[in-house]
Amino acid sequence: MVTSKDRPFRGRLRYAMAVLAAGAVLLGAGCSGDKSPSWQGGAQGDKAAPTSQAPKPSSVAVTEPKTGETGVEALAPVKFTSDDPSNTTVEVKDADGKKVYCKVDTTAGTWTPAKALTWGEKYTVTVNGTETDEKTGTTESSFTVMKKPSKLVRVSSFLGDDQVVGVGMPMIVRFGRSVPEKYRAAVERRMEVKSTPQQEGTWHWVSPTEVHYRPKVFWKAGTRISYTVNAAAVPMGDGWYGRSNLSVNLKIGRSFVMTVNNKTKHMTVVQNGKTIKSIPVSLGKAKTPSSSGTMVVIEKKRHTVFDTLEELGPEEGYRTEIDYAQRITWSGQFIHAAPWSEGVQGRTNVSHGCVNVSMAMGAWLFGRTMMGDPITVKGTGSPLKNGNGWTDWNVSYQEYKKGSAL
Is residue 156 scored above 50 in pLDDT? yes
Q: What is d(CA 216, CA 202) in angstroms, rounded to the nearest whole number?
A: 8
Is residue 43 scored above 60 in pLDDT? no
Is residue 9 scored above 90 in pLDDT? no
Burial class (CB in 10 A: 0-12, 13-18, 19+), 310: exposed
Query: 152-253 has which CATH code?
Result: 2.60.40.3710
Q: Where are the domains of the chain?
A: 60-145, 152-253, 256-392
For residue 52, the number of C-alpha atoms closer than 13 Å in the C-beta half-sphere is: 3
For residues 315 and 117, the model is more confident at 117
For residues 240 and 52, the model is more confident at 240
pLDDT of residue 343: 97
What percent of the chain is predicted at pLDDT more than 90? 80
Annotation: CATH topology of 256-392: L,D-transpeptidase catalytic domain-like (2.40.440)
Predicted confidence (pLDDT) per residue in 125-148, tens digit: 999 999 998 899 999 999 999 999
Predicted confidence (pLDDT) per residue in 282-306, tens digit: 999 999 999 999 999 999 999 999 9
CATH of the domain spanning 60-145, picked from 2.60.40.3780, 3.40.140.10, 3.40.1350.10, 3.30.2350.10: 2.60.40.3780
Q: Do domains 60-145 and 256-392 have the same CATH topology?
A: no
Tell me what the mean pLDDT of segment 356-364 comes to: 98
Predicted confidence (pLDDT) per residue in 312-322, tens digit: 777 777 789 99
Non-local (6+) Cβ contacts of 43 within 8 A are none
Mean pLDDT for the chain overall: 89
